[in-house]
Structure 1
């Protein structure tokens, strides 16, 4: 089940999956506690299995109002079960209700196919985020 969760609830999975076990304090993102940021978790048996953070960010200003998907991660023991897709689908429906024009992300190269299956299009050549890895800018139009 997809639920809204608190900013601190995303940190353990961010550390485990995205930041190679760094301390939780090093896994916080600027904007995590902004009033227009929200965090989602896929919860099963009272445990968070997958996470996503969504932050207001008009990265493509000519396209209108945008939100950035950040820090999406699924626990390695629970991958391939559709939890990540459920989070994105929930976020898309929620953002459409607020007339958001698009959702975008810096998608890890290894996850680009996942995002393409959900309708995202690639907006950049591959680029390296030092210490994190290779990514693509990807965008999903919501209107």
Structure 2
């Protein structure tokens, strides 16, 4: 049985995994968000190694998660699902009304599993097509 722990982490701990998984072709600074130090960040540790990250931001009771990333050798192992369940629980405790994200179009199916639905809002950025997806809580 694998040891899996989810903990709140310092913003800078997210950068290496974001960079490696999401935008390896861009400079490291490109994965740093202007409001990283106002967000809440969670890391999933597999056998004590930081293996995945997600960042959560809010305006009032509406929360957005950004930069959900799992190291490639640990993808499809359920860690992303555990992180998503963790932030959904966290948002419910915070009395959030809605959780949303800018989803890469090729990852839509993953978010459907958690009850997210697509909105009309789509855009193209950094070589990827995105759709805004949301879930009422």
TM over 0.5: yes
Partners in 1 of 2:56 and 2:127 — Cα distance?
A: 19
Deviation of 1:97 (Å): 1.0
Q: Please, which moves more after superposition, 118-127 or 21-30?
A: 21-30
Indicate which of 9, 21, 24 corresponds to 1:17. 21
Alpha-carbon shift at residue 25 of structure 1 (Å): 2.8
1:108 equivalent in alignment to 2:112:
no
Correspondence for 2:73: 77
Which residue among 117, 133, 137 is the counterpart of 1:138? 133
Contact 1:19 1:132 in 2 (8 A): no
User: Separation in 2 of the partners of 1:132 and 1:11?
Assistant: 19
Question: 8 Å contact 1:66–1:103 — kept in the other structure?
Answer: yes
Equivalent-residue separation in structure 1 for 2:117 and 2:94 (angstroms): 22
Which structure has greater strand proportion? 2
Stretches of structure 1 lacking an aligned partner (at least 5 in a row):
59-64
SS of the aligned residue for 1:99 comes to coil
Q: Is 1:117 matched with 2:113?
A: yes
Task: Name the CA distance, whole Å, in 2 between partners of 1:19 and 1:132.
Answer: 10
Q: Partners of 2:118 and 2:57 in 1: how far apart?
A: 20
> Deviation string for 1:41-99 (max 9, x for gaps)?
110122111110001146xxxxxx21111011110100111111111111111111111
If the length of structure 2 is used for normalisation, what is the TM-score? 0.90
Q: Which residue of 1 aligns with 2:88?
A: 92
Determine whether 1:28 maps to 2:32. yes
Higher alpha-carbon deviation: 20-29 or 65-74 = 20-29
**Alpha-carbon distance change, 27 to 66 in structure 1, aligned in 2, over 3 angstroms:** same
**How many aligned residue pairs are there?**
133
**What TM-score, normalized by structure 1, do the two folds share?**
0.86
